[in-house]
Chain A
Amino acid sequence: MPSANSELFRLPEAAVGILLILPAILLLLSLTLYPVLYGVWISFFNKHSFFPQQTFIGFDNYISLLRDPEFWASVWRGTVYALSTIALQIILGVAAALLLNEVFPGRNILRGIVIFPYVVPTVVAVIIWKWLLNSQFGLVNYLIEKAGLVDQPISFMGKDWIMVSLIIVSVWQFFPFVVIGVLARLQTIPDELYDAAKVDGGNAWQRFVYVTLPQLKSVLFVIVLLRSIWMFTKFDTPWLMIQGGGAETYIRTLPIYTYMRTFAYYEAGLGSAMAVVMFLALAGAAVLYFRIWRREENL
């Protein structure tokens, strides 16, 4: 029989629930919200990255970065990199998923192999590709020279090719993500839709355009959104591409420049301002993307 005291301290069920999830909420907030808010806070300071030196300067960091030509150049490079890799990942990913959705011997093994680039650690992937693309000993140069496509080896890490090399490596690395999403959706499209299209005289291309693509729309929406966020903020692949030599200037995307400002110039305030701008730009793009999507859906 409960005592009078325990009756007195009995909490409402909802309050107990809140109390139980409170530690998890606090943990999540301290690990996510606090760093973000702290980042926004220090973007208003002239702050050394490691030493306790800081002066409040209001919006000066934002003004100076908007006037910085290197900032705009890095935004441009980042946009070129992100848009081209996203487009190529989608094209290659959808094509591979369509192929892997067909029935043929060895399909399951091939499905496993296609996922391989996505599970290889980035550092390993970049080292392998840098070795393959080496201008002196690389397999790629050997093959294209042997095939008579070029007279001289191509310097894939030089000014003219480094962005292309980066895009190739990134597409190779991340297209399996598209394959997984699209293949999963393809397997749930009812055969009856294709049968009906066939009865109506639709050829393979028409079946793809009028049956498959509309069915893939929702999954492609999510994939494009996620891949856009990840490719615009991609740091490790371009960073590793320029380690130990490389025309860094030509693939200095916004995340790389943000890192440099923070950890090479030791300007944590300015680096944070750049990160805030990047966050706002992405959030804005995401909102716009959702609106356009909703309008399309209504149509």
Chain B
Amino acid sequence: MHMSRMVALATALTVGIAAPALAQDKLVRVWHTETEPQTIKAFNDLARRFEAKNPGIKIEAEGLAWTDLEGKIMASLAAGSPPELSHGQPITCTALQSKDLLNPLDEVVKAIGEDNIWEQVKRVCNVGGKQFGLVHAAGTSLLIYRKDMADKAGLKPPKTWNDFLANAKALTQSTKGDGKIDIYGITLPGDNLFINILMGELIKSNGGALFDKNNKPLFTDQKMIEVLEFWRELVKYAPPGWEGDGYLQTFQNLYGQKAAMMFQGYGRGAGLIEKFAPKEKANDKTFDVWSKPVGPSGKEPGVQVDEEPWMLFKDAKHQKEAIEFLKFFYQDDNYLEYVSTVPIHLFPITKSLRASPKYQNLEMIQRWKGWIEVQQGYLDKDQGKPTLVVDWSDMTEKPYLLEVLGSGIVRDMVMDVVLEKWEPKRAADKAQRRLEDLLRSKGYLKG
């Protein structure tokens, strides 16, 4: 056969085989951070049902660990091939929106019904009245404590940080009576993300802020010094080597009887307690929640809301299909299937589902009602904000919070105080200088 004919035949075969495959499916890539097996299964089931109803669209969902997510999003954007949809931190969403990389999800909001979405949720990544990020589910942080131990010791709910420290001291015990402490008052995470989360909460609870209107860090402010002093006292009642504990290890300490309180708990913990705590203790009579205490300069508690928004990337190919998928995701029955996989943590963002008997009657909701009520209280009183967001205006006016989080400067400051035994003022001075350098190098801080 002549060479040119062979080439023509090969090209025709290649096109003939590939073309139907290419024409067949519009691929919607979805990255999410829910890595519990039952949630992944529910999400995949939902995606398959959507595909069945929408021939020609394929949903490719991938569950990613938190630590991988931001880097992967950034790399995909740099490569010009972001997924259609992804979860992200609220501060990631505003950082990307400020660089004009996202498209709004107003059409999804309209389909759900704007009035049907909780106010708190609508404030996340809402810029100029457009919803650039739509939260998949919201759950607040919780102060979880051993009710059985607290009752036995006659402890009251802590109103202030001092009350809380007194409770932590009282709950640090040698239960075997041999003088060896075997249960500590508090379990704290030592990893960067959770130290930043806790810092955001504590500074809010102490009436302070992290940055002023001109982006100048406020780390040498007296309110920050008080936060660091509180942290220094708090770790006295934490297990030795607490700084090596990650988020899941702190839950392990709680249900494994090594610690009596957990300041950075979440509703997800209810499931872990049911699964891993001794049967007779795996209930809300043993593990209950208190409202979080207030700092010496604060007026009301501040908590973090775990509420990753969906983001729709401008450079993604199948925008319309991605929007259709989100509309399908938030339909009550589908959404119920998703949130019911971790019901105490994944609070629905829609009022209709939250009020529906189907949701209210979920067995787990019934079993852990107190945990739900405390979270609801925080949300209703607007005491919950995303990571490092102290005031809602931070959401749009401080697009550098993602870099602050990633830099580890806050964590280093805390470690300087609690492990290196620096005076809070000295550690705060160092962090202030580092943050000013960081913000100056990025052009957010002048002078």
**Which of A's residues lie within 8 Å of B, judged by CB?**
46, 49-51, 64, 70, 135-137, 151-152, 154-162, 242-249, 260, 263-267
List 20 additional contacts besides A50-B74, A244-B248, A266-B74; criterion CB under 8 Å: A49-B78, A50-B75, A136-B252, A136-B258, A152-B240, A158-B240, A158-B241, A159-B415, A245-B190, A245-B191, A246-B246, A247-B415, A248-B408, A249-B411, A249-B412, A260-B407, A263-B71, A265-B406, A266-B403, A267-B441
Q: Which 7 A-B pairs have the closest CB atoms?
A: A155-B241, A245-B246, A158-B241, A157-B244, A264-B406, A244-B246, A50-B78
Tell me, rounded to whole Å, the shortest Cβ–Cβ distance linking A60 to chain B.
9
Return chain B residues, CB-CB under 8 Å to A263. Answer: 71, 74, 406
CB contact between B240 and one of A155, A162, A248 (< 8 Å): that residue: A155
The residue of chain B having its C-beta at the shortest distance from the C-beta of A265 within the complex is B407
Report Cα–Cα, A160/B240, bound state, in Å: 10
| Residue contact B241 to A246, C-beta cutoff 8 Å | no
Whether the Cβ atoms of A51 and B99 lie closer than 8 Å is yes
Is B291 in the interface zone, CB < 8 Å from A?
Answer: no
Minimum distance in angstroms from B248 CB to a CB of chain A: 7
Among A137, A152, A243, A266, the most chain B Cβ lie within 10 Å of the Cβ of: A266
Kindly state the separation between the CA atoms of A260 and B74 in the bound complex, as whole angstroms.
14
Whether A158 lies near B99 (C-beta < 8 A) is no
Nearest B residue to A257, CB-CB: B408
List of B residues within 8 angstroms of A154 by Cβ: 241
Are A264 and B407 in contact, with the CB atoms below 8 A?
A: yes
CA distance A264 to B406 in the complex (A): 4
B411 close to A158 (CB less than 8 A): no
On whether the beta carbons of B240 and A246 are closer than 8 Å, the reply is no
In chain B, positions 94-111 with a C-beta closer than 8 Å to chain A are 99
**Chain B positions within 8 Å of A49 at CB level:** 74, 78
- Asked if B424 is at the interface of the complex by the 8 Å CB criterion, the answer is no
Q: A46 vs B441: C-alpha distance in the bound complex, in angstroms?
A: 8
Residues facing A in B370-414 (CB within 8 A) are 403, 406-408, 411-412
Query: Contact: A245 with B244, CB < 8 Å?
Result: yes
Of the residues B192, B239, B408, contact of A155 by C-beta under 8 Å: B239
Instruction: List residues of B (238-275) whose CB comes within 8 Å of A's CBs.
Output: 239-249, 252-253, 256, 258
Query: 19 pairs across A/B with beta carbons < 8 Å?
Result: A49-B74, A135-B244, A136-B249, A136-B258, A151-B180, A152-B180, A158-B190, A243-B246, A244-B191, A245-B190, A245-B246, A247-B243, A247-B244, A248-B191, A248-B408, A249-B412, A260-B406, A266-B74, A266-B406
Q: Is the CB of A245 within 8 A of B240?
A: no
Q: Does B4 contact A (CB under 8 A)?
A: no
Q: Is B67 an interface residue (CB 8 A)?
A: yes
Contact of A135 with B239 in the complex, beta carbons under 8 Å: yes
**B246–A159 touching, CB < 8 Å:** no
Chain B residues with Cβ below 8 Å from A156 are 241, 244
Contact B247 A136 (CB under 8 A): no
Cross-chain contact A245 with B189 (CB below 8 angstroms): yes
Given the interface pairs A50-B77, A248-B191, the reply to whether A265 lies near B438 with Cβ below 8 Å is yes
B83, chain A: closest CB distance, angstroms: 15
Most buried by B among A49, A247, A260, A263: A247
A267 to B438, CA, bound (A): 10
Interface residues of B in 402-447 (CB under 8 A from A): 403, 406-408, 411-412, 415, 419, 437-438, 441
Interface size on B, residues (CB 8 A): 38
How many angstroms from the CA of A108 to the CA of B61 in the assembled complex? 47
Q: Given A51-B99, A155-B240, answer yes or no on A243-B192 (Cβ-Cβ < 8 Å).
A: no
Closest to A247 in B: B243
B78 touches A51 (CB 8 A): yes
CB B382 to nearest CB in A, in angstroms, measures 30
The listed residue (A151, A155, A267) touching B244 by CB distance below 8 A is: A155
Bound Cα distance A263, B78 (Å): 12
Q: Cα distance A24–B152 when bound, in Å?
A: 76
Question: Could you tell me the distance between the alpha carbons of A194 and B36 in the complex, rounded to whole angstroms?
Answer: 62
A260 contacts which chain B residues (CB < 8 A)? 406-408
Chain B residue at minimum C-beta to C-beta distance from A264: B406
B441 and A157 within 8 A (CB): no
Tell me the bound Cα distance from A154 to B441 in angstroms.
41
- Inter-chain CA distance A154–B240, complex, in Å, is 8
Q: Which residues of B contact A247 (CB under 8 A)?
A: 190, 243-244, 415, 419
CA distance A153 to B150 in the complex (A): 25
In the bound complex, CA of A176 to CA of B419 (Å): 36
Chain A residues near B71 (CB-CB < 8 A): 263
Specify which chain A residues have a CB less than 8 angstroms from the CB of B415 in the assembled complex.
159, 247, 249
- Given A136-B256, A245-B249, A249-B412: A159 touches B239 (CB 8 Å cut-off): no
Known contacts A51-B78, A246-B190, A249-B412; is-contact A158 B253 (Cβ 8 Å): no
Q: Closest CB of chain B to A12's CB: distance in Å?
A: 29
Q: How far is the CA of A246 from the CA of B190 in the complex (A)?
A: 6
Using an 8 Å CB-CB cutoff, how does the interface string of B182-209 with A read, 1 for contact, 0 for none?
Answer: 0000000111100000000000000000
Contact A245 B245 (CB under 8 A): yes
A248 x B192 contact (CB < 8 A): yes
Roughly how many angstroms separate A57 CA and B415 CA in the complex, as a whole number?
A: 33
Neighbouring B residues of A245 by C-beta, 8 Å: 189-191, 244-249
**Distance in angstroms between the alpha carbons of A150 and B411 in the assembled complex:** 30
Partner of A265 from B99, B240, B249, B403 at Cβ < 8 Å: B403
Nearest CB of A to B56, in Å:
32
**Contact residues of B between 31 and 85, Cβ < 8 Å to A:** 67, 71, 74-75, 77-78
CA A137 – CA B276 in complex, angstroms?
13
How many whole Å from B37's CB to the nearest CB in chain A?
A: 17
Task: Report the Cα distance A46→B442, complex, angstroms.
Answer: 9
Within the complex, the shortest CB–CB distance from B95 to chain A, in Å, comes to: 10
Question: For residue A264, which residues in chain B have a CB less than 8 angstroms away from its CB?
Answer: 403, 406-408
Specify which chain A residues have a CB less than 8 angstroms from the CB of B441 in the assembled complex: 46, 267
Given the contacts A248-B192, A265-B407, A162 and B244 also touching, CB distance less than 8 Å: yes
